[in-house]
Amino acid sequence: MPRFAANLSMLFTEMDFLDRFAAAAEAGFSGVEYLFPYDYPAEEIKARLDAHNLTQVLFNLPAGDWANGDRGVACDPERVEEFRAGVDKAIAYAKVLGNTQINCLAGIAPKGADLGKLEMTFIENLRYAAKKLEAEGIRLIMEMINTRDIPRFFLNNTSQALEIRDKVGSTNLFLQYDIYHMQIMEGDLARTIENNLAVINHVQLADNPGRNEPGTGEINYRFLFEHLDRIGYQGWVGCEYKPATTTAAGLGWMKAHNAI
């Protein structure tokens, strides 16, 4: 059975962020992830991790003004310096938190933008980040996101991500495979994960439709969990879903799948 990490940006949201670490451990999770740590001192988060014997699994590079609609800046030619400053900030946090992988969100393509220029910017930014992170022993991953939930998100399917990875040319760039997003964009989940296992360094889950917990939608998670074991997936699975009711009420899937 894979190792599961609670996404604290989605789960236990009825309580303050720093209190969610204890709740995750009590629920049986051994790792945590979330969108961003930057609103809190790194040392304060590290204390919560240590107090509850949790592994810090993943967070994102700074992604612009999230509250006002930014979903990453990595493809924006006008924000390269902002992106690079964000890489340094993420490294500083990762070193304190013991975090060994950081996710890059490509961002939303501006209307009417030259897609070739956006791709070139994204490639250069990924190349820069991959090199900087590698020097610190941290892996860079990039995430494909569906264009139904986030229209015009620049990186939105596996084949595109693989092409960009080839163009970046770094051995320190991997893929994050979010099952929910990729069920919407491409399907064929098990085969795609297996065929690209060597470059998939993180998996996330939610059911579809609804983006709720496993068992609420169409995805056969029992099969997929067994499949991940069968093909030898060694990474974490982040639980990035919206509880259909409350987090506690929706955790029955973990017992049903022998995840705890």
Residues taking part in catalysis: 143, 240
Residues 6+ apart with CB under 8 A from 255: none
Extract the tokens encoding 192. 């795609």
Between the alpha carbon of residue 229 and those of residues 2, 55, 114, 226, 259, the distances in Å are: 7, 21, 42, 5, 12
CA atoms within 13 A on the CB side of 75: 25
- 140, with CB counted inside 10 A (0-12, 13-18, 19+), is buried
CA 29 to chain centre: 17
Do you find a cis peptide bond into 62, omega within 30 degrees of 0? Answer: no
Six token digits for residue 164: 């960009």
